[in-house]
Structure 1
Amino acid sequence: MILLVLLHKGRGGGMSDMFGGGVSSSLGGSSVAERNLDRFTIGTGMIWFACVIALGLLKAY
């Protein structure tokens, strides 16, 4: 999760510039790769959150 969040482009760039994100940002708009990274990060976060809740419920019983 931490790696996925760090790959996102922040206000001043971010680690995504290392992998070619800076080129697409100068052209305007978000690239397909950036949108896919957003979707993947949100999906992974939802799965992670569900696992945390499930483990908490399993530990309670």
Structure 2
Amino acid sequence: MSIPLMTWPTMTLSILLIVLSLVLTAFILLHKSRGGGLSDLFGGGMSTAMSGTSSAERMLDRLTIIISLLWLACIFGLLVLQRHAG
């Protein structure tokens, strides 16, 4: 009994999922703290009053949403490929 190798769509989506996971993590860490979260509970909430969002922040928000939607699409794609493989 041999273990079948990954097909190229599964391998491609797996690699894309890993890359998107790293990019999404970086984008989430780049966001400015908005306060009121769990970090405030432990003394990390030393932020000033919220000011208007800059255009760079809005672009980062949009990119984070796009990357997260691509990440979800990769997961659903892998789910579909795994269901049809078995």
> Same fold, TM exceeding 0.5?
yes
Task: Pick the structure with more helix per residue.
Answer: 1
- The answer to which structure, 1 or 2, has the higher relative contact order (CA under 8 A, 6+ apart) is 2
Q: Give the TM-score, by structure 2 length.
A: 0.51
Q: 1:42 and 2:65 equivalent?
A: yes
Q: 1:30 and 2:70 equivalent?
A: no
Amino acid in the other structure paired with 1:29: G
Return 5+ residue gaps in structure 2 as ranges.
1-23, 36-47
Match of 1:52 in 2: 75
Instruction: Please tell me whether Structure 1 or Structure 2 has the larger radius of gyration of its CA atoms.
Output: 2
The sequence identity of aligned pairs, in percent, is 44
Number of residue pairs aligned between Structure 1 and Structure 2 = 48
Return 5+ residue gaps in structure 1 as ranges.
13-24
Runs of at least 4 residues off by over 4 Å: none
